[in-house]
Amino acid sequence: MELLEKQVALAEVALEEAKARPAEAQIIAPFAGTVTAIEVREGENVGALVPLITLSDLTTLEIVAQIDEIDVAEVAVGQKAQIRLDAFPGEELAGTITRVAPAATTERGSTIYQAVVRFERTDLPLRLGMGANLRITTLEKADVLLVPNRAIQPIGRKRVVRVLEGGNVREVEVVTGLSNESETEIVEGLREGEVVLVE
């Protein structure tokens, strides 16, 4: 019992000393921000290096994206990204890649690289942790001839498209360039204005 009384007395002395030095009991934020999580409860004892709060800078909007190892070689700082937030399916935001991690992490058996995409402020009521899908522009070309992917038919090692000409259909061998999920660039074989049939 005597030991407990001494411990209580020491704690009371420590409390009085802390009250006498209020500046030392203050927690000063290292930057202006918004408290997004409180990690401790009132009256809880905490030691050194114990997180008390999470402070977030909501003036800079960023998405941490996961890039598959198959695609990471094409992703670079400065590239543009179109952002679609799961919570706002009809809205699209513009962003820019500001960082691509030099080392991979493994998540659910997949090797991924984290990339940071910064985007402009918006009037949408965004919240931390919202999900998003990104489309990153890895290469841009101007003034190219595009056809729908469904118009291109592989025949052996060749690629052909069917062209309507004077009421007749003829197969034309083409050389393709860049492609996305819906269209492919035609480098040789077609001219602008030709009517291509789509399967």
pLDDT tens figures, 188-197:
999 999 999 9
Contact in structure between 53 and 39 (CB atoms under 8 Å):
yes
Q: What pLDDT does residue 150 have? A: 95
DSSP assigned state of 19 = H
Contact in structure between 82 and 133 (CB atoms under 8 Å):
no
Contact in structure between 97 and 115 (CB atoms under 8 Å):
yes
Q: What pLDDT does residue 172 have? A: 93
Q: For 67-125, give the DSSP string.
A: EETTTGGG--TT-EEEEEETT-TT--EEEEEEEE-SS-EEETTEEEEEEEEEE---SS-
Question: What is the third-level CATH fold of 61-136?
Answer: Elongation Factor Tu (Ef-tu); domain 3 (2.40.30)
Task: State the first-to-last Cα distance of the chain, in angstroms, to the nearest integer.
Answer: 90
Taking 80 as the threshold, does the pLDDT of residue 18 lie above it?
no
Question: What is the third-level CATH fold of 145-197?
Answer: 2.40.420
Taking 70 as the threshold, does the pLDDT of residue 1 lie above it?
no
Lowest mean pLDDT among 48-62, 72-86, 90-104: 48-62
Nearest CA-CA partner of 123 in 80, 91, 86? 91
Cβ neighbors of 159 (< 8 A, separation 6 or more) are 152, 153, 173, 174, 175, 176
Domain boundaries, the chain: 61-136, 145-197
Of 40 and 98, more confident: 98
Query: In the structure encoding, which two tokens stand for residue 110, read together?
Result: 């997949």
